Structure 1
Amino acid sequence: MSPSVAVVGPGAIGTTVAAALYEAGRRPRICGRTARDQLELQTSHGRIVVPGPVQTDPAQAGGTVDLVFLAVKATQVEGAAPWLKALCGPDTVVCVLQNGVEQESIVRPYAGAARVIPAVVWFPSEPQPDGSIWLRDEAHVTLPDRPESRVVLDALRGSWCAVELAGDFTSVAWRKLLQNAVAGFMVLTGRRSGMFTRPDIAELALAYLRECLTVARAEGAVLGDDVPQQIVEVFQTSPADMSSSILADREAGRPLEWDIRNGVMQRRGRAHGIATPISDVLVPLLAASSDSPA
């Protein structure tokens, strides 16, 4: 029997997961801030319509579930706390579909007795003007190899969203964080992936990623010297108009996840006595882009 599932936060990531569940024959509860009759995901294989409604009142959540996919940004976790309270029991697993390496420490205070597991999301999905989501590539998720991750495996079994378990989840999570961190350059330039083909931007990105790599290794990640170049090449070979969630938030005037994507590099670097000169410039600029009054 498949686990009962709720998706909290039907944005780009949440809609993608809800669509994968629905296509596999599951009907997740969908919980968010805005009432909607349905969710729509556009893929290379066509459009998937996930029936709603999107529930907006935690008091009407319908009781606890086996699995909660928490797909809100780190800046929205406190706002999602009523949903976690309504949906989580002692046997619930909360799978945090969120950027960064601090998902557990951020979400655990709001999850009660539920078990919280982090995830690394490997799919580019972007909101469209009509309210639908465009999934630009194949979808898969990496989880730590723990017993509670089996609930996520069961929920997504047979779907087109692959799930892999990593024995060294720390290294996987920090590698993805490096990729997310350098995407912060998009906020400061207002440009998309195509800008990384500029030699000066590529050089600066490599220097920043090497700084981040030193921090990641101090945190226990096992990553090779070639990782910075690999990440820059990912941006260089992506469609020139490929965006990122942090740029989309900047364009929409929303708070940015600058702290969990970039501030963490500076914070953890200082804790290990590692110099982070590029972070020391980048982080205040990103913070100002998000939090300044004007």
Structure 2
Amino acid sequence: MSTTRAASIAVVGPGAIGTAIAAALHEAGRTPLLCGRTPRDRLTLQDGDRLITVPGPVRVDPRQIGGTVDLVFLAVKATQIEAAAAWLTALSGPKTVVCVLQNGVEQLERIALPARPARFVPAVVWFPVQAQSDGSVRLRADMRLSLPDTSHARVAAEALQGTRCRVELAANFHALAWRKLLQNAVAGFMVLTHRRSGMFGRPDIAALALAYLRECLAVARAEGAELDDGVPQEILDKFQSSPADMGTSILTDREAGRPLEWDIRNAVIARRGRALGLPTPISDILVSLLAAASDGPG
């Protein structure tokens, strides 16, 4: 299967993560087909003082897709899966690989779409990107993905080979996915306070975050993730060492009044904790507040 022809790769959901992936492919001469909700002539990624422009257009009608592709990078949020179904149906053939660039540990379970028999690969996205007011996307660290070490994942890794996005095929993917989930989960505090990474410098917030991360770690271990005792402190240290104005995608959604990914980032901890008979008192409070912030009423 060839994944180096420009027409053989599509990015569905050219938001912050999708724009970064599209820019990495474009730089390497593998400009992907762009598919989304909003028509745009181009995508722009800011990397320091450098601007990388990915030529469009962003297609908005799946009925205008002429055929299937070898590889789809699915970069829509969990709240947008249903809307992406038509794109996956139009783009996916029997051998199409769909690399799911989403948060959480339930990416594959949630894609119950008519796009089958495409082959789905979960991914862990490690790089921070932020949408800017002018429609561009700002990259704030080196690009890196973790994928499970499978034959289907190697198709995505091959497509990104030689680009600015480093891909790790990980035998311990399950543990890495849970570690990233812990990082995403604690970012929920930023939503409720409308603050950025600098808030974790407060001793009271740091103590609360650490207690929550330890609660999440207990659930992750019970789910079979091999993570050591130092992971909560390492995650907190990462937030505390980040620029004080560093945001997160769920905070961006909250500021824009969009639905939040509270279920896949936070409720999953409480839900799986209950199934395992583990107490999750901080999760129980946090999830209710995030759900109300997202869905109301009021």
Answer whether TM exceeds 0.5 for this pair: yes
Where does residue 195 of structure 2 map in the other structure? 191
Report the identity percentage. 68
Which stretch of the first structure deviates more once superposed, 248-257 or 149-158? 149-158
Where does residue 271 of structure 1 map in the other structure? 275
SS in 2 for 1:148: helix
User: 1:147 corresponds to which letter in structure 2?
Assistant: S
User: 1:13 corresponds to which letter in structure 2?
Assistant: I
Unmatched 5+ stretches in structure 1: none
User: Residues of 2 paired with 1:37 and 1:172: CA distance?
Assistant: 36
Instruction: Summarize deviations over 1:233-267 as a string: whole Å, max 9, x none.
Output: 00000000000000000000000000000000000
User: Residues of 1 paired with 2:241 and 2:115: CA distance?
Assistant: 39
**How many residue pairs align between the two structures?**
294
User: 2:75 corresponds to which letter in structure 1?
Assistant: A
Work out which of the residue numbers 94, 100, 116 in structure 2 matches 1:96: 100
User: What does 1:61-210 correspond to in 2, within 5 Å?
Assistant: 61-210=65-214
Where does residue 226 of structure 1 map in the other structure? 230
Report how far residue 293 of structure 1 moved. 2.6
TM-score under structure 2 normalisation? 0.97
Where does residue 254 of structure 2 map in the other structure? 250
Report how far residue 74 of structure 1 moved. 0.2
Where does residue 12 of structure 1 map in the other structure? 16
Where does residue 38 of structure 1 map in the other structure? 42
Q: 1:193–1:240: 8 Å Cα contact kept in structure 2?
A: yes
Structure 1 stretches of 4+ with a deviation exceeding 4 A read none
User: 2:149 corresponds to which letter in structure 1?
Assistant: D
Instruction: Summarize deviations over 1:155-213 as a string: whole Å, max 9, x none.
Output: 11110101110101100000000000000000110100000000000000000000000
Q: 1:21–1:159: 8 Å Cα contact kept in structure 2?
A: yes
TM-score under structure 1 normalisation? 0.99
Report how far residue 151 of structure 1 moved. 0.6
CA RMSD of aligned residues (A): 0.9
Q: 1:203 to 1:110 in 2, by over 3 A?
A: farther
Report how far residue 27 of structure 1 moved. 1.6
User: 2:67 corresponds to which letter in structure 1?
Assistant: G
Instruction: Summarize deviations over 1:74-113 as a string: whole Å, max 9, x none.
Output: 0000001000000001100000000000001112434310
Report how far residue 62 of structure 1 moved. 2.0
User: 1:148 corresponds to which letter in structure 2?
Assistant: H
Unmatched 5+ stretches in structure 2: none
